[in-house]
């Protein structure tokens, strides 16, 4: 079973095709520029590879999110890059105008307002 090991605040920048360098314009594009919670986990099936769950800041009861496939993880002080066989996912790290309430709300179930584990 895979699990989340780290969480940071950041923004989803882009996902590009590894060969052509072209920006994906499918469902991923609706998340470009969104700030939110970047949750990082390590694959147990593929040791050394990581995956990301991204939860953008949203208003309302529905919490859209996505997760990446596993890939090679690289991090600097300001950026996370996840490189897969055919794509490169980039996230910028930082608060990006997330309020303290926004930050806290990521840790609560929005239906019951109980603290998530």
> What CATH number did the domain enclosing 47 receive?
2.30.29
- How many folded domains does the chain comprise? 1
- 116 lies in a domain? no
The CA–CA distances, whole Å, from 110 to 21, 43, 58, 81 equal: 38, 28, 11, 29
Does the residue 58 lie in any domain?
A: yes
Q: What's the confidence (pLDDT) of residue 107?
A: 60
Is 110 contained in some domain? Answer: no
Asked whether the predicted pLDDT for residue 84 surpasses 90, the reply is yes
Could you tell me if residue 114 is inside a domain? no
Strand partners, 71: 50
Would 112 be classed as within a structural domain?
no
The boundaries of the domain holding residue 59 are 3-105
Dump pLDDT digits (tens) for 32-82: 999 888 999 999 898 889 999 998 887 556 668 899 999 999 999 999 999
Q: Are strands 87-93 and 79-83 parallel, antiparallel or unpaired?
A: antiparallel
């Amino acid at each position: 079973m895979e699990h989340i090991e780290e969480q940071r605040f950041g923004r989803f920048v882009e996902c590009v095709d590894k060969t052509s360098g072209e920006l994906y314009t499918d469902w991923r594009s609706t998340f470009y520029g969104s700030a939110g919670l970047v949750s990082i986990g390590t694959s147990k099936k593929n040791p050394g590879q990581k995956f990301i769950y991204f939860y953008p800041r949203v208003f309302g009861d529905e919490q859209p999110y996505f997760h990446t496939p596993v890939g090679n993880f690289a991090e600097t002080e300001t950026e996370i890059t996840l490189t897969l066989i055919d794509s490169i996912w980039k996230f910028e790290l930082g608060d990006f105008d997330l309020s303290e309430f926004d930050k806290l709300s990521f840790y609560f179930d929005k239906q019951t307002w109980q603290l998530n584990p």
